[in-house]
Amino acid sequence: MSLHYTRRKAANLIAQGASVASALFGIIFLFWILKDVLTLGLPAVNASFFMELPAPAGVDGGGLANAILGTLMITVIATVIGVPSGILAGTYLSEYGRKSRVADVVRFLSDILVSAPSIVIGVFVYALMVKPFGGFSAIAGSVALAIIMLPVVIRTAEEMLKLVPDATREAALALGAPHWKVTVQVVYRGAIRGITTGVMLAVARVSGETAPLLFTSFNNSFWNFNLTEPTSTLTVTIFNYAMGPYEDWHTKAWGAALLITAMVLVVTISARFFVRGKAN
């Protein structure tokens, strides 16, 4: 009898121990990675890292200024393409298509597209925009990132718009406002905070993407402000430098990794507080 109890208690204890250990496992890797990115990246971050062009291969010094600008440029253009279309599509799902068949299909496909392999999106944009126009370009990279961003924005926009109570919509409609005005001036206002958060998370996510940029925006050792030319980005630079043979390249790659990681984490954490602030 007592053996039976002991065994049950032991099983319970083992299971709980394993569960605590799993949580620790996850947290250890988070801090381990962050620690290495910080300690190995910091030595690379100095004024010339932000201000100068890359030095020729094998020569120490120089910076990644063009890659920083390239990442900014490509991400901003992707945001300009992806966010408005995503919000409008999300608006359709939430305001017009709650029970429609088309909306269900769009939801289903968006959820799949969110997790679809980003490298395949890169191949797709290569076939669509790089091959026919005869060269890698910043705009192709932006389109690839916009496609990756689109489903994320659609789903968040829909969720956030749905959180606005129907009574608010009805009140505005009862005053005689047309549906689109209700949506733009009442519903959007109620959901602006959530949508902004979702957009921030989507932007942070795509700014760390590498795979879709490898064969769209490609790489460039110089400044580039022309959207139809290959453009260097931090993530692709990390890939090339980390795979390369020079010690200085590795240091630079860690520096770029630190920059990208810090940006993504700051946005993710602040988005979290932003949402929590709303909940209270």
Partner 1 sequence: MKNVIDRHKADKLGDSLFKGVSFFFAVSVIALMILIFAVLVKESWLSLKAFGFGFVYSSAWDPVAGDFGALPAIYGTIVSSIIAIVIAVPVSFGIAIFLTEMAPAWLRGPIGTAIELLASIPSIIYGMWGLFILAPILSEYVEPPLVEYLGFLPLFSGAPLGIGMLPAGFILAIMIIPFISSVTRDVIRMVPSILKESGYGVGATKWEVIWKIVIPFAKSGIIGAVILGLGRALGETMAVTFLIGNSHDISMNLLDPATSISATLANEFTEAVEDIYLSSLVELGLILFVITFVVLALAKLLIARFSYDGGRR
Restricted to residues 77-116, the positions that interact with partner 1 (CB under 8 A) are: 85-86, 88-89, 91-93, 95-99, 102-103, 105-106, 108-113, 115-116
Kindly state the helix (H) or strand (E) to which residue 231 belongs, with its residue range: none
Q: Which of these segments, 8-16, 55-63, 71-79, 186-194, binds partner 1 (CB under 8 A)?
A: 8-16
Q: Does 55 bind partner 1 (CB under 8 A)?
A: no
* Of the candidates 255, 275, 141, the residue with the CA atom closest to the CA atom of residue 200: 275
What residues numbered 169-208 form the site for partner 1, per CB under 8 A? 178-181, 183-184, 204-205, 208
Q: Whole-angstrom Cα distance, residue 204 to residue 38?
A: 19
Q: How many C-beta neighbours within 10 Å does residue 92 have?
A: 17
State which residue, 87 or 225, has the beta carbon closest to partner 1: 87
Under 8 Å between Cβ of 248 and 160: no
Q: Does 27 bind partner 1 (CB under 8 A)?
A: yes
Q: Does 257 bind partner 1 (CB under 8 A)?
A: yes
State which residue, 37 or 140, has the beta carbon closest to partner 1: 37
Residues in Cβ contact with 267 at an 8 Å cutoff, skipping those fewer than 6 apart: 200, 201, 203, 204
Q: Does 49 bind partner 1 (CB under 8 A)?
A: no
Q: Does 262 bind partner 1 (CB under 8 A)?
A: no
State the minimum distance, in angstroms, from the CB of residue 232 to partner 1.
14
State which residue, 55 or 128, has the beta carbon closest to partner 1: 128
Q: Which of these segments, 15-23, 53-61, 73-81, 167-175, binds partner 1 (CB under 8 A)?
A: 15-23
Residues in Cβ contact with 168 at an 8 Å cutoff, skipping those fewer than 6 apart: 186, 187, 190
Q: Whole-angstrom Cα distance, residue 196 to residue 198?
A: 5
Residues in Cβ contact with 50 at an 8 Å cutoff, skipping those fewer than 6 apart: 63, 64, 65, 68
* Of the candidates 40, 252, 48, 211, the residue with the CA atom closest to the CA atom of residue 126: 211
Q: Does 242 bind partner 1 (CB under 8 A)?
A: yes
Tokens matching residue 176:
């005689």
State the minimum distance, in angstroms, from the CB of residue 42 to partner 1.
15
Q: Which of these segments, 36-44, 51-59, 71-79, 187-195, binds partner 1 (CB under 8 A)?
A: 36-44
C-alpha distances (whole Å) from 112 to each of 14, 109, 172, 194 are 37, 5, 35, 22
Tokens matching residue 231:
């453009």
Q: Does 119 bind partner 1 (CB under 8 A)?
A: yes
State the minimum distance, in angstroms, from the CB of residue 33 to partner 1.
5
Q: Does 218 bind partner 1 (CB under 8 A)?
A: yes
State which residue, 31 or 47, has the beta carbon closest to partner 1: 31
State which residue, 219 or 228, has the beta carbon closest to partner 1: 219
# chain residues binding partner 1, by CB under 8 A = 95
What residues numbered 142-171 form the site for partner 1, per CB under 8 A? 147, 150-151, 154, 162
Q: Does 210 bind partner 1 (CB under 8 A)?
A: yes
Q: Whole-angstrom Cα distance, residue 182 to residue 167?
A: 12
